[in-house]
């Protein structure tokens, strides 16, 4: 039985909604449908808890975060099993157990961070100090692709800096987050972390949160379209915002690259989590000298990737998470098939299963290239001139990540720095880590996550002179 947690107490709701297993279509469980009144109560509980938490020394808050990390680690397998059932990703490989392991690692690293007082001046004219102070109640809105990992990204830095949290997961994958909040409330003071869920039909909780006067900051991970709505709604109350939104990441393969050596890295850079990853490779530009060989090696690797129910131990890729995204990918692939050459896949499977699909000989202007597909379909584009490839990669409203693939690391490094992206990689992709700041430029987001820079986003600056 899954309920809300408000003020440290389990709260039932008048109505509930089913959460479906994308591999089978069968219900996993029912989730509670929160109301606007539940949101008000959650914010009130978080405001009350903030007065206590923000007054505690940083070391006490660090101890609370360390207890959260330990609790998460102790229940990692339970959460991984639930995550696979509601999200569809496999237990193994880059699936649910990997996500839980990453969540634990992120939580543990965040516990090591600190924002000490910075002395700007200390001389005969006086002393000037820069203090970082917690904001208040943080509203966390999380997506369906990495629900538990992204919840940790939002919650742990918020608590470490002295903020309290109201979290709302996606209606497609609320169960793991609801259970996560239950577990964290076993080690946190009442009201520090509160959960809401809903099917967004009668009540749009996200919209209410972004406009709520009691919420001081919104941290949102999701689509660019929704992120823009969050920003517009939050403007009336001058909320602080961290928005990690969509991307259309380009990978660029240089003519000196070894096709066989890079095939695995390129494949998983594109197809991690079935391509349902904001910073995955969404379009691949390959130099004409190695174009055919890269296509061949990618197909050879893809043939060995098993697709099936994520609960089966040998599965490498599961189903797509929901019908909306499945239909979008189906539409984009159907259009691209008439404009390019299908190397593998291309036909939707049963239910929500969609095989890894690689389509070659496409050009900019094709929807599969220009739009964010957010699914297991990779367009491959041939290029001749590297300056042209860089320009085409940058000709996008998004700017989350990008990568260069080459044997010449220094040349690749220089080219990577020309990409208009928040993150750039050489011979790897989606290589995020808890000590390296992550965020998007242009339409891919606002603000930064991870590391000291990400921690600062949960604070206001106060300058003290005496």
Active site residues: 244, 278
Q: Are 274 and 370 in contact (CB under 8 A)?
A: no
Q: What is the dihedral of CA 24, 30, 31, 37, to 10 degrees?
A: 140
Token duo for residue 50: 């903030």
CA distance linking residue 155 with residue 140, whole number of Å = 8
Output the 3-class SS for 73-111.
Answer: HHCHHHHHHHHHHHHCCCCCCCCHHHHHHHHHHHHHHHC
Q: Are 172 and 19 in contact (CB under 8 A)?
A: yes
| CA-derived radius of gyration, the chain | 23
238: left (phi over 0), alpha (psi -120 to 50) or beta: left
Residue with tokens 């649910």: 96
Q: Max alpha carbon distance in the chain (Å)?
A: 76
Name beta bridge partners: 118.
130
Residue with tokens 């001389």: 123
Residues 6+ apart with CB under 8 A from 171: 17, 19, 31, 197, 198, 199, 200
Token duo for residue 286: 């390959």
């Amino acid at each position: 039985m899954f309920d809300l947690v408000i003020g440290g107490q389990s709260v039932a709701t008048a109505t509930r909604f089913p959460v479906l297993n994308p591999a089978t279509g069968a219900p996993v469980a029912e989730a509670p449908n929160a109301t606007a009144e539940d949101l008000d109560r959650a914010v009130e509980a978080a405001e009350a808890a903030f007065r206590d938490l923000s007054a505690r020394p940083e070391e006490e808050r660090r101890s609370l975060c360390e207890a959260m990390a330990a609790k998460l680690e102790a229940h990692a397998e339970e959460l991984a099993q639930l995550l696979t059932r509601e999200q569809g990703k496999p237990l193994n490989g880059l699936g649910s157990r990997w996500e839980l392991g990453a969540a634990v690692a992120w939580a543990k690293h965040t516990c090591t961070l600190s924002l000490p007082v910075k002395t700007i001046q200390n001389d005969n004219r006086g002393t000037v100090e820069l203090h970082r102070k917690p904001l208040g109640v943080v509203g966390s809105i999380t997506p369906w692709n990495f629900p538990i990992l992204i919840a940790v990204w939002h919650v742990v830095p918020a608590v470490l800096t002295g903020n309290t949290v109201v979290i709302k997961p996606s209606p497609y994958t609320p169960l793991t987050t609801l259970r996560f909040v239950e577990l964290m409330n076993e080690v946190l003071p009442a009201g520090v972390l509160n959960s809401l869920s809903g099917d967004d039909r009668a009540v749009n909780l996200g919209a209410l949160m972004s406009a709520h006067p009691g919420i001081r900051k919104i941290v949102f991970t999701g689509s660019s379209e929704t992120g823009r709505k969050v920003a517009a709604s939050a403007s009336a109350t001058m909320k602080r915002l961290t928005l990690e939104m969509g991307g259309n990441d380009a990978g660029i393969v240089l003519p000196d690259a070894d096709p066989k050596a890079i095939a695995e890295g390129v494949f998983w850079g594109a197809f991690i989590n079935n391509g349902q990853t904001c910073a995955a490779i969404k379009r691949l530009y390959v130099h004409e000298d190695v174009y055919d060989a890269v296509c061949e090696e990618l197909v050879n690797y893809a043939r060995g990737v098993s697709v099936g129910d994520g609960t089966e131990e040998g599965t490498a890729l599961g189903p797509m998470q929901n019908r909306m995204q499945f239909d979008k990918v189906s539409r984009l692939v159907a259009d691209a098939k008439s404009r390019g050459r299908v190397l593998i896949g291309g036909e939707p499977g049963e239910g929500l299963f969609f095989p890894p699909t690689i389509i070659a000989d496409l050009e900019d202007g094709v929807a599969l290239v220009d739009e964010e597909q957010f699914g297991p379909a990779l367009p491959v584009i041939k290029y001749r001139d590297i300056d042209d490839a860089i320009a085409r990669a940058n000709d996008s409203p998004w700017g989350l990540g990008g990568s260069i693939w080459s044997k010449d690391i220094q040349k690749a490094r220089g080219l990577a720095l020309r990409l208009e992206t928040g993150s750039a990689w050489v011979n790897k992709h989606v290589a995020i880590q808890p000590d390296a700041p992550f965020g998007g430029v242009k339409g891919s987001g606002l603000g930064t996550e991870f590391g000291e820079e990400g921690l600062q986003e949960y604070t206001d600056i106060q300058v003290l002179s005496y």
